Amino acid sequence: MPTALEKETDSASSCKHYDDARQVPWDIKKYYHQRYSLFSKYDDGILMTDTAWYGVTPEPVANMVAQHVSEGAPASKAVLIDCFAGVGGNTIAFALSGRWKKVYAIEKDGDALICGKNNARIYGVEHLISWYHGDCFEVIKNELAPLGQYSVVFASPPWGGPGYSTDPVFDLSTMQPYSLDAILGSFRPITQEIAIFLPRTSDLQQLANANHSLKKVKAIHYCMEGASKAMCVYFGLFTSS
């Protein structure tokens, strides 16, 4: 008898677990070879959609970001809202950190969300996460706004595809489909404590201009094997490291 989750998974044809490189589409082969960096428990049955491979945060980076968000958040903040939860890389790390009473994970792609639930179960943290299927801007405005005073918002948005790295400086005002200003403008009415995961080449001047408070804005590069993978930018979150 299949479990409820297995039934859900069956209906989502784009949730996949590749266990042989020959099954993997050519454009994601490079990411498949890094699978244990993305999820150390990959072999336990991690599910991904094909598009998730490009954007999922590698597990060591997700854990370090979760640690920095925890360190920077005021004690009054008990809830973490992960706005682009995808297949759960960051969501799981936030739940594993043990810092949050609840992690709210919002994802627009229903198949990615099913993968994320499955992956959270593999890491034993499903009971700490509430999943929302929908557009994060709508969910935050219509359902989560009352939690704002208790919340830190984390966003790892789409960067407009893997071609993001072609320009030496990444323009955050033309980031697709949501610009930095659009993202911050939607979250600021509910909280000032916001962390955003962005390309390593992001325009630092644009980030400085986007800081409307007197608190520090901090940008941290996260490196693997000596090279920056990406940066996370912390607004209103003091981080000591």
Q: Which residues bind ligand MGP (CB under 6 A)?
A: 54-55, 57-58, 156-159, 162, 164-165, 197, 229-230
Q: What is the smallest separation between the CB atom of 146 and ligand MGP, expressed in angstroms? A: 27
Three-state secondary structure of the chain:
CCCHHHHHHHCCCCCECCCCHHHCCHHHHHHHCCHHHHCCCHHHCCCECCCHHHHCCCHHHHHHHHHHHHHHCCCCCCEEEECCCCCCHHHHHHHHCCCCCEEEEEECCHHHHHHHHHHHHHCCCHHHEEEEECCHHHHHHHHHHHHHHHEEEEECCCCCCHHHHHCCCECCCCCCCCCHHHHHHHHCCCCCCEEEEECCCECHHHHHHCCCCCCCEEEEEEEECCEEEEEEEEECCCCCC
Nearer to ligand MGP, 174 or 213 (CB): 174
End-to-end C-alpha distance for the chain, whole angstroms? 49
Nearer to ligand MGP, 60 or 150 (CB): 60
Q: What is the smallest separation between the CB atom of 22 and ligand MGP, expressed in angstroms? A: 22
Q: What is the smallest separation between the CB atom of 191 and ligand MGP, expressed in angstroms? A: 20
Nearer to ligand MGP, 32 or 54 (CB): 54
Nearer to ligand MGP, 42 or 164 (CB): 164
Q: What is the smallest separation between the CB atom of 135 and ligand MGP, expressed in angstroms? A: 16
Nearer to ligand MGP, 54 or 150 (CB): 54
Q: What is the smallest separation between the CB atom of 30 and ligand MGP, expressed in angstroms? A: 7
* 11 vs 220: CA distance, rounded Å: 39
Q: What is the smallest separation between the CB atom of 210 and ligand MGP, expressed in angstroms? A: 17
Nearer to ligand MGP, 78 or 220 (CB): 220
